[in-house]
Chains A and B, each alone.
Chain A
Amino acid sequence: MLTAALSIAFFSIAASLAIGMVRLIRGPHAPDRVLAFDTLYINTIALMIVLDIYRSTSVLFEAALVIALTGFVATAAFARYLVRGKVME
């Protein structure tokens, strides 16, 4: 039962990554692409968590935490660049 649920979770995360990639390539405006990037890194965190449940380890949680930190900083930097034209002043 847990194996089936893990399979469904892996499949849905893969589908979400593919859909986010579609929006990243096709997005009509720049903020759409940044939003797709945001979705992609959150889905990567979810993938790492489910992989840790699958392997019954807890080594990937630190990697997930680092991805969460750098992803938020990257989104904030993208937004700042799109608003101001430069990241740091």
Chain B
Amino acid sequence: MLDLLVSILLLVGSLFIVVGAFGLVRLPDFFMRLHGPTKSTTLGVGSFLLAAVVHTVDGGFTLRELLIALFLFITAPVSAFLLGQVGLRRHVTSRAPLPEDFPGLRREPCPQGSDRHPFPAIDQPKIDI
């Protein structure tokens, strides 16, 4: 019975990890690619950690697995935020327009015959880490 639960958790974690890696390599844009590892892969590792907790529940329960899960769930959004900030500062091409009230934003005229939104110029961004 316990083995069945461990197996189901392992399969769910494998699915999440493969989906995250697939999104990392197949999505067309850096800001879209940011979603794969930071959400799907983290959920997959969380599922694996739950499987480890269930597997060792009869022979000495420890909190180390939950500690790893807590740490990963805290740090994944922070690293995603830092990498998104890197993409904004280095003017990585994006398919989505910037929000209207982005600080220091200058709109450029849209080039004719282009489906991509032009990346606007930013002078002196006011965001601080």
Residues of A whose CB lies within 8 Å of any CB of B are 1-2, 4-6, 8-9, 11-13, 15-16, 19-20, 22-23, 29-32, 34-36, 38-39, 42-43, 45-46, 49-50, 52-53, 56, 58, 61-62, 64-65, 68-69, 72, 75-76, 79-80, 82-83
Which range contains the number of B residues in contact with the other chain?
A: 35 or more
B residues lining the A interface (CB < 8 Å): 3-4, 6-8, 10-11, 13-15, 17-18, 20-22, 24-25, 30, 33-34, 36-38, 41-42, 44-45, 48-49, 51-52, 55-56, 60, 62, 64-65, 67-68, 71-72, 75-76, 78-79, 82-83, 85-87, 89-90, 92, 129
The prevalent SS among residues of B at the interface is helix
Question: Are A31 and B21 in contact (CB-based, < 8 A)?
Answer: no
